[in-house]
Chains A and B, each alone.
Chain A
Amino acid sequence: MMKFLFMMIFMIPLCFMKNMFWLVQMMLFFMMFLFMNLNLNIMCFFNMSYMFYCDIISFGLILLSIWICSLMIMASESLFKLNFYFNFFLFNVIFLLIMLYLTFSVLNLLLFYFFFEASLIPTLLLIIGWGYQPERIQAGMYLLFYTLFGSLPLLMGIVYIFNDLNTMTIYFLKFFNMNMYLLYISMIFAFLVKMPMYFVHLWLPKAHVEAPVSGSMILAGIMLKLGGYGLLRVMIFLQEVNLKLNYIWIIISLVGGLFISMKCFCQVDMKSLIAYSSVAHMSMVIGGIMVMNYWGFIGSYILMISHGLCSSGMFCLANINYERLHSRSLYINSGMMNFMPSMSLWWFLLLSSNMAAPPSLNLLGEISLINSLVSWSNISMILLMMISFFSAGYSLYLYSYIQHGKYFQGLYSFYVGSSREYLLLFLHWFPLNMMILKVDFISIWF
Chain B
Amino acid sequence: MFFFILTNNNSNKMFFLFILFFSTLISISSNSWFGCWIGLEINLLSFIPLISNSKNLLSVETSLKYFLTQSLASINFLFMILIKFSLLKNFDMNNIISIMMNSSLLMKMGSAPFHFWFPNIVEGLSWMNNFMLMTWQKISPMILLSYYFNKNFLIFMIIMNLIIGSLGGLNQTSLRKLLAFSSINNLGWMIFSIMISENLWLFYFLIYSMMIFMMISLFFLMNMYFMNQLFINNMNFFIKLNLLINFLSLGGLPPFMGFMPKWIIINFLLINKFYFLTFIFMMTSLIIIYYYIRIIYSSFMFNYFKMKWVNLLMKNNMSLINLSSFISISSMILSTFIFM
Across-interface contacts of A99 in B (CB, < 8 A): 255
Instruction: Report B37 CB to chain A, min CB distance, Å.
Output: 39
Known: A137-B297, A156-B279. A163 touches B254 (CB 8 A): no
Known: A108-B340, A111-B340, A144-B293. A117 touches B270 (CB 8 A): no
C-alpha gap A118/B260 in the complex (Å): 13
- Residue ID in chain B nearest A102 by CB atoms: B336
Q: Which of A118, A148, A149, A163 contacts B267 (CB under 8 A)?
A: A163
- Asked if residues B302 and A130 are in contact (CB atoms below 8 Å), the reply is yes
Known: A156-B279, A163-B270. A118 touches B254 (CB 8 A): yes
Instruction: Report B267 CB to chain A, min CB distance, Å.
Output: 5
Bitwise, B268-294 to A at CB < 8 A (1) or not (0) is 001100010011001101100110010
Q: Which of B254, B279, B282, B301 contacts A117 (CB under 8 A)?
A: B254
- Residue ID in chain B nearest A156 by CB atoms: B278
The reply on A325 being an interface residue by CB < 8 A is no
Across-interface contacts of B263 in A (CB, < 8 A): 155, 159
- Asked if residues A141 and B293 are in contact (CB atoms below 8 Å), the reply is yes
- Asked if residues B301 and A163 are in contact (CB atoms below 8 Å), the reply is no
> How big is chain A's contact interface, by range?
35 or more
- Asked if residues B301 and A156 are in contact (CB atoms below 8 Å), the reply is no
Kindly name the residue among A128, A130, A141, A153 whose own CB sees the greatest number of chain B CB atoms within 10 A. Answer: A128
Please count how many residues in chain B sit with their CB below 8 Å of the partner chain's CB atoms: 28
The reply on B300 being an interface residue by CB < 8 A is yes
Within 8 A of B (CB), among A91-125: 99, 108, 111, 113-115, 117-118, 120-121, 124-125
Instruction: Report A86 CB to chain B, min CB distance, Å.
Output: 11
- Asked if residues B297 and A121 are in contact (CB atoms below 8 Å), the reply is no
- Asked if residues B286 and A114 are in contact (CB atoms below 8 Å), the reply is no
Across-interface contacts of B279 in A (CB, < 8 A): 153, 156
Bitwise, B241-268 to A at CB < 8 A (1) or not (0) is 0000000100001110001000100110
The reply on A33 being an interface residue by CB < 8 A is no
Across-interface contacts of A431 in B (CB, < 8 A): none
Instruction: Report B197 CB to chain A, min CB distance, Å.
Output: 16
- Residue ID in chain A nearest B266 by CB atoms: A159
The reply on A129 being an interface residue by CB < 8 A is yes
Known: A111-B340, A159-B267. A117 touches B302 (CB 8 A): no
Known: A117-B253, A156-B270, A163-B267. A129 touches B301 (CB 8 A): yes
Q: How many A-B residue pairs have CB under 8 A?
A: 74
Instruction: Report A165 CB to chain B, min CB distance, Å.
Output: 13
C-alpha gap A156/B248 in the complex (Å): 20
Q: Which of A125, A137, A152 contacts B282 (CB under 8 A)?
A: A152
Instruction: Report B292 CB to chain A, min CB distance, Å.
Output: 11
- Asked if residues A124 and B255 are in contact (CB atoms below 8 Å), the reply is no
Across-interface contacts of A117 in B (CB, < 8 A): 253-255
C-alpha gap A152/B254 in the complex (Å): 11
Across-interface contacts of A141 in B (CB, < 8 A): 290, 293
Across-interface contacts of A121 in B (CB, < 8 A): 248, 253, 255
Across-interface contacts of B302 in A (CB, < 8 A): 84-85, 129-130
C-alpha gap A129/B299 in the complex (Å): 9
Instruction: Report B339 CB to chain A, min CB distance, Å.
Output: 10
Across-interface contacts of B237 in A (CB, < 8 A): 88
- Asked if residues A125 and B300 are in contact (CB atoms below 8 Å), the reply is yes
- Residue ID in chain A nearest B339 by CB atoms: A110
- Asked if residues A163 and B271 are in contact (CB atoms below 8 Å), the reply is yes
- Asked if residues A145 and B290 are in contact (CB atoms below 8 Å), the reply is yes
Kindly name the residue among B237, B270, B336 whose own CB sees the greatest number of chain A CB atoms within 10 A. Answer: B270
Across-interface contacts of A85 in B (CB, < 8 A): 302
Across-interface contacts of B290 in A (CB, < 8 A): 141, 145
Instruction: Report B28 CB to chain A, min CB distance, Å.
Output: 31
Across-interface contacts of B293 in A (CB, < 8 A): 141, 144
The reply on A140 being an interface residue by CB < 8 A is yes
- Asked if residues B266 and A155 are in contact (CB atoms below 8 Å), the reply is yes
Across-interface contacts of A124 in B (CB, < 8 A): 300
The reply on A430 being an interface residue by CB < 8 A is no
Across-interface contacts of B270 in A (CB, < 8 A): 156, 159-160, 163
C-alpha gap A117/B259 in the complex (Å): 11
Across-interface contacts of A149 in B (CB, < 8 A): 286
Which 5 A-B residue pairings sit nearest by Cβ, starting from the closest?
A: A118-B255, A152-B282, A128-B300, A117-B254, A118-B254
A residues near B (Cβ < 8 Å) are 51, 84-85, 88, 99, 108, 111, 113-115, 117-118, 120-121, 124-125, 128-130, 137, 140-141, 144-145, 148-149, 152-153, 155-156, 159-160, 162-163, 182
9 of the cross-chain contacts (CB-CB < 8 Å) are A125-B300, A128-B300, A144-B293, A145-B286, A149-B286, A153-B279, A156-B275, A159-B270, A160-B270
